[in-house]
Amino acid sequence: MTGFICIVTETLPAGLLPQISQGLGVSASLAGQTVTAYALGSVLAAIPLTIATRGWRRRNVLLLTISGFLVFNSVTALSSNYWLTLLARFFAGVAAGLAWSLLAGYARRMVQPHQQGQAMAIAMVGTPIALSLGVPLGTWLGGAVGWRSAFGIMSALTLLLIVWVLAKVPDYPGQSGRERMALRKVLTTPGVRPVLATVMAWMLAHNILYTYVAPFVAQAGLLDRVDVVLLVFGTVALVGIAITGRLVERHLRSTVLACLATFFIVSLLFVWLATVPAAVYVGVAVWGLTFGGAATLLQTALADTAGDGADVALSMNVVAWNSVIAGGGVLGGVLLDRWGAHTFPWALAVLVAIGFVIAWSARTHGFRPGPRTRSAGH
């Protein structure tokens, strides 16, 4: 549920830009910077806050991040000043940056080592639910009861989550001074950099297509069906998470390589079939299937590889992930303006091929073959 709130809080303005720009008396492009401010908060805060709170008890850190959403979504709902809203969005992003670096490690600690991959698959299920159902629902709610009410509802959900965490979530101690690994040592741990590089190549490709899915599907005459296209993507992504939960423990490496190879094939098919509606729907469904378990696979590989430095490595993952969200917007925008949406599949194919080669070559450290429990970090 924390992951769900992170994603919906981040993406809600995208579906409510006209209402937000009108409500705050600014242009749509300025209203769009509420998404940028959130991502910037996550990028800047994830690593330093994760390092600063490593010694804290885990539930206290979790409650701190959730309380951040409660405060800053409430400010967003009540603010009539553009700059105050932008500041609230930035600090909501700060809360998200800490949350994402905490969640995976927290989920892993609740279970036995051989169940860690499955635990992460369950913990990450909030992401595709938010993308497939939460964002369209939030957009509809914003249109029905006003954009401020949509953020108010997010605050109410957060309040429920705080009660739920206090009632049900077990607490764990933070890392002692001697257990903590320095940032540089974590980054130079064998396998950490190849996993992060795979994250960046794979997710940059994904974000180019996801950010500009409307102009891309418009080539097949599906501009008024973007909501249906995204629903197909999100629903199949849930199936991808379910499949990943079954495969992650014994077949992490082969599942990552299979997902990248399949996404590459879809990218090539889009080169020639992007104007055929049926092909677009099938391609989007297969893309959703390959993406659904990506967060689980990549974060499991990263946490296993980093060992005691898992929390810091996962904060680096937050920075990498949010950087390529921004990068996908920039690179996709350049491609769209210069050459048109028909160039997206070529860019995707190149990026996914790079990701596949990096993952394939990280056989000794990063994406090891065989069951992951032999080398799982605790």
Q: For residue 100, give the CATH number of its domain.
A: 1.20.1250.20
Could you tell me the pTM of the whole model?
A: 0.80
Going by C-alpha positions, the residue among 186, 234, 187 that lies closest to residue 213 is 234
Q: How far apart are CA 237 and CA 232, in angstroms?
A: 8
Q: Are residues 41 and 66 in the same domain?
A: yes
| More confident position, 143 or 64 | 64
- Kindly state the average pLDDT of the residues 309-327: 84
Three-class HEC string of 316-345: HHHHHHHHHHHHHHHHHHHHHHHCCHHHHH
Tokens of 310: 């898992």
Percent of the chain topping pLDDT 70: 96
CB 151 within 8 A of CB 12: yes
**Which of 132, 156, 180 marks a domain boundary?**
180
CA atoms within 13 A on the CB side of 295: 24
Q: Are residues 125 and 267 in the same domain?
A: no
Range of weakest confidence among 128-142, 228-242, 306-320: 128-142
SS3 353: helix
CB 51 within 8 A of CB 183: yes
Per-residue pLDDT at 212 exceeds 90? no
Q: Are residues 277 and 168 in the same domain?
A: no
Q: Are residues 37 and 156 in the same domain?
A: yes
Domain assignment of residue 54, given as a range: 1-180
Q: What pLDDT shows up at residue 373?
A: 56
Q: Are residues 135 and 212 in the same domain?
A: no
**Which of 153, 180, 207 marks a domain boundary?**
180
On average, the pLDDT of the chain sits at 87
Q: Are residues 135 and 245 in the same domain?
A: no
Q: Are residues 165 and 284 in the same domain?
A: no
Q: How many residues does the chain have?
A: 378
Q: Are residues 173 and 235 in the same domain?
A: no
Q: Are residues 176 and 186 in the same domain?
A: no
Helices (H), 80-125: 82-109, 116-123
The H or E element that residue 312 is part of is helix 310-338
Q: How far apart are CA 109 and CA 94, in angstroms?
A: 24
| More confident position, 60 or 29 | 60
Q: What pLDDT shows up at residue 376?
A: 45
Q: Are residues 148 and 187 in the same domain?
A: no
Q: Are residues 281 and 327 in the same domain?
A: yes
Residue where the block lists tokens 């965490």: 165
Our count of domains for the chain comes to 2
- 34-39 — which CB contacts under 8 Å span 24+ positions? 34/85, 34/86, 34/89, 35/10, 35/11, 35/89, 36/326, 37/86, 37/87, 37/89, 37/90, 37/93, 38/9, 38/10, 38/89, 38/90, 38/92, 38/93, 38/96, 39/10, 39/93, 39/322, 39/325, 39/326
Q: How many CB atoms lie within 10 A of CB 346?
A: 15
Per-residue pLDDT at 14 exceeds 50? yes
The H or E element that residue 154 is part of is helix 147-168
**Res. 358 pLDDT band, cuts 50 70 90:** very high
Q: What pLDDT shows up at residue 180?
A: 61
Chain centroid to CA 223: 25
Range of weakest confidence among 112-116, 254-258, 340-344, 371-375: 371-375
Q: Are residues 47 and 119 in the same domain?
A: yes
**Which of 180, 201, 218 marks a domain boundary?**
180
